[in-house]
Amino acid sequence: MIHARGLARTFDTRRGRERVQVEAVKGVDLDVEAGEIVGFLGPNGAGKTTTLRMLTTLLTPTHGTATVAGHDLKSDPVGVRRSIGYVSQSGSTAMSGVKAGEEIVDHGAMYGLDRARVEARGRELFEQLDLDGLWQREPKTLSGGQRRRLDIAMGLVHDPGLVFLDEPTTGLDPQARANLWTHIAALRDRLGTTVFLTTHYLDEADALCDRVLVIDHGEIVASDTPDALKRQVAGDLIELVLGDPSHVSLAAQQLARITSDAATDVNGGVVSGRVASAGTELPGLLRSLDAAGVALASIEVRRPTLDDVFLTMTGRSLRDA
Amino acid sequence: MNAIAATGIVYRRQLRQNLRNPVWIIIGLAQPILYLVLFGPLLKPLAAHLGTTNAYTFFVPGLLLQLGLFGALFAGFGLVSEWREGVVEAERVTPAPRTTLLLGRVLRDVSLVGVQSVILIALAFAFGLRGSIGGMLLGVVITMLLGGACSAASYALALSTKSEDALAPILNSIALPVMLLSGIMLPISTATGAPQWLVVVSNVIPTKYIVNGLRTSFTGDVFTGPTMWAVFWAVVFVIAGLWIGTRTFRRDA
C-alpha cells in the first residue's frame, strides 16, 4: 500500500542571523501492506507528522520516492489524493457556521462524488461511528471524542483503501480513546482499510497496531510487531524502593546476582534491574535481601513496554524525549 | 475533479457560512455607512469647491474603494482560522485543484463586496446621491474587481504567514496610507490647494486613479480617460492578486 525509499525533508529556517537547514526527516524507508494497521511511533519532533504530510502530498519531499496506494507521489499526486483519506491532528471541519453533515457532503463532493451518494455514505458512517443524531449539529457543540470521530468520518466518506490518522487520540480522555481504538480496529476488520497512524502513546501502538515503526531524529530505528519489539528488551524490570537509602549498595549487590549481565541502576533510594523472569526470581531475591538486612519500602515489577523498547533503541525514554 | 465544479463547491460552502452569520457582512458595511451618514453631510456645502454639483458623486466612490480595499484585505484572517481548524489541509488532500480553493473564496468575497456596494449606493441615494446609474454599476464592477484582487493577495499572505499577529500589522500598514493617499475624503490635487509633495506622492498610488475613475463614472462620463484608467488598474490588480494567490496556493503550505 505504501512503499517509500529514502524519503527526506529539509526545512530552511533561521537561527538568529544565520540560515540553517533542519533535517526533519533524514531518509525514511517504509513498506505497508494492504490490510495492515501500522503505528508510527516517536516523540514530538521526531519527524512523524512531516513523514505523514509527505505521504499525503501535503509536503513535497526534498529527496526520495514513494508509491502510495499504487500511485507515484511525485508524478501522480492527484491519484494519491483520490485513493487516500487523511485525518489531521488539527481536525478538518469548521467549528461554527456549518453543520456536521454538510461538511461531510461538501468534502465528499470535492472528490467528484454525487451529493446524494455522499450523503447516504455519510449517514452510514455517522451510524457506525456512534454519531447518530448529530448530522445537523454545529461542530463546536460536539465533544472532543465526537469531533474526532466526525473528522474520521470525513476522511472515510470517499471509501479510501488507505487512511492516515495523525495522532488520532491526542487530547481525548481515556474512555474516548478506548472507544476510538475499537472504531479504528473496526475500519480494518469490517472494511479491510489499511490504516497508518502516528502516535506518541505506547499503549496505543501496543493495543492497536499489527506493526510498529519507531522513528527518532528523522530516522526509522525499528520496525516490527509490538510483541517482537518487546522481546528485544531483555526481561522484566524489578524496582526496589528502599526504606533506608543507605542500604543502596547492599541492595544493588543482591539484585546484581540475578540480573542479566549483573547490571543494576541506582537512582536515589531506588535500585532497579532486569531479570529474565521476575515471577521465578522474586521469592529468592526477597529472602536474600531480608538476610542482608535490607528493608524495602516497596517493590515494583514491570513487564517490558514499548517505552522500554524506545529506551533501548535510543537511550532515551519516550517521556523525556 | 473539474476545476469549475470544485470552485463551485468551495464558493457555496463559504457563502453559506457567511449567510448563517451575516454579522460580519454588516460590520464590513458599518464603517462606510458611518462615513456616509456622519461625514457625507459635511461635504455637501463644499460641492462646488470639490469641482462637482453633487457631493455624493465625489464621496461615495471613495467609500467604495474603502469597501473593496478594507473588506477584502482582511479576508485573510478567516483563512488563518480555517487553517487552524484544519479545513484548508482537509481540502488540500482532496483531488480538487488547489487553485480552486483560492478561487472559490475569492469569488465569495467578490460577491459580498458587490452586495455591500449596491447597499451602500442605495443608501447614498437616500442622502441625495444623483448621477449616472450605468456609471454607478460600472463603479460596482470595478470595486468588485479590486475586492477580488485584495482578497486573493490577503489569502496569499495569510497562507504564508498563518498568523493573525503577522497579518494585522502588515495589512493595516498597507491599507490606511493607501486609502488616505487615494484621496477618498478630499481630492488630492493642486487645483483644490493640496501641497505639491502630497500630490506627487499620491500620484504613484494606483488606487488614486481608481477613485478618480469611479468619480467620473458616477457622473456619467463612462468612456473618458479617468474611468478607463480605473478599469485598467482594477484589471492589473486582479491579475497580480490572482497570480500571487495561485502561486501560494499551489506551493506547499
User: How would you write chain B as a 3-class SS string?
Assistant: CCHHHHHHHHHHHHHHHHHHCCHHHHHHHHHHHHHHHHCHHHHHHHCCCCCCCCHHHHHHHHHHHHHHHHHHHCHHHHHHHHHHHCHHHHHHCCCCCHHHHHHHHHHHHHHHHHHHHHHHHHHHHHHCCCCCHHHHHHHHHHHHHHHHHHHHHHHHHHHHHCCHHHHHHHHHHHHHHHHHHCCCCCCCCHHHCCCHHHHHHHHCCHHHHHHHHHHHHHCCCCCCHHHHHHHHHHHHHHHHHHHHHHHHHHCCC
Which range is least confidently modeled, A21-35, A70-84, A299-313, B26-40?
A299-313
Query: Which pLDDT tens digit goes with each residue over A86-142?
Result: 998 888 899 888 999 999 999 999 999 999 999 999 999 998 888 999 999 999 999
- Structure-model confidence comparison of residues B208 and A228, the more confident one: B208
Beta carbons of A12 and A19 less than 8 angstroms apart: yes
Band of residue A318 on the pLDDT scale cut at 50, 70, 90 = low
* DSSP codes, A61-99: -SEEEEEETTEETTT-HHHHHHHEEEE-TT-SS-SSSS-
Distance, in Å, from the CA atom of B248 to the CA atom of B253, rounded to the nearest integer, reads: 8
Rounded mean pLDDT of chain A? 86
For residue A5, the surrounding DSSP H or E stretch is: strand A2-15
What is the residue type of A244? D
Q: Do A91 and B86 touch (CB under 8 A)?
A: yes
Nearest to A52 by CA among A98, A9, A19: A9
Interchain CB distance below 8 Å, B95 and A98: no
pLDDT attached to residue A248: 78
Helix (H) or strand (E) holding A242: strand A236-242
Give chain B positions within 8 Å (CB) of A106: 9, 12-13
Report the candidate in B143, B168, B144, B167 with the shortest Cα–Cα distance to residue B157.
Answer: B167
Residues of chain B with pLDDT under 50: none
Chain B 81-110, residues with CB within 8 Å of chain A CB atoms:
82, 84-87, 89-96
Find chain B residues with C-beta within 8 A of A154's C-beta: 90
Write out the three cell numbers for A302. Answer: 514491570
Confidence at residue B235, expressed as pLDDT on a 0 to 100 scale: 95
Contact A2, A196 (CB under 8 A): yes
Contact B13 A58 (CB under 8 A): no
Choose from A106, A110, A150, A156 for mutation: most chain B CBs within 10 A: A110
Which pLDDT belongs to residue B1?
66
Does the model's pTM come out above 0.80?
yes
Distance (Å, whole) CA B114 – CA B93? 32
The per-residue pLDDT for A289 is 82
In chain A, residues 151-210 whose CB comes closer than 8 Å to chain B: 151, 154
Residue in chain A closest to B250 (alpha carbons) equals A58
Of B1, B12, B20, the CB nearest to A111: B1
Q: Which of A50-59, A233-242, B84-93, B107-116 has the lowest mean pLDDT?
A: A233-242
Nearest chain B residue (CA) to A59: B252
A116: number of Cβ within 10 Å: 9
In chain A, residues 111-130 whose CB comes closer than 8 Å to chain B: 111-112
Task: Measure Cα distances from A170 to A94, A101, A126, A133 in Å.
Answer: 19, 24, 21, 25
Provide the residue count of chain B.
253
Tens digit of pLDDT for each residue in A259-295? Answer: 766 677 777 778 888 887 778 888 888 888 888 888 8
- Residue type present at position A16: G
- A231 vs B179, higher pLDDT: B179
pLDDT-based confidence at residue A52 (cuts at 50, 70, 90): very high
Residue A319 predicted with pLDDT over 70: no
B18 touches chain A (CB under 8 A): yes
How much is the average pLDDT of A221-238? 80
With contact defined as beta carbons under 8 Å apart, do A66 and A73 qualify? yes
Predicted local confidence at residue A320, as pLDDT: 55
Task: For A21-47, give one letter per residue: b (16+ CB within 10 A) or e.
Answer: eebbbbbbebebeeebbbbbbbbeebb
Examine the pLDDT at A321 and tell me if it is beyond 70.
no
Between CA A203 and CA A187 the distance in angstroms is 19
Strands A18-32 and A71-72: unpaired
**Count of A–B CB contacts within 8 Å?**
80
Burial class (CB in 10 A: 0-12, 13-18, 19+), A151: buried
CB-based contact B222:B135 (threshold 8 Å): yes
- Give the model confidence (pLDDT) of A162-198 as tens digits: 999 998 888 888 888 888 888 889 888 888 899 999 9
Verify whether the Cβ–Cβ distance A81 to B94 is below 8 Å: yes
Distance CA B221, CA B218 (A): 7
Pairing of β A162-166 and β A84-87: parallel
Closest residue in chain A to residue B101, using alpha carbons only: A110
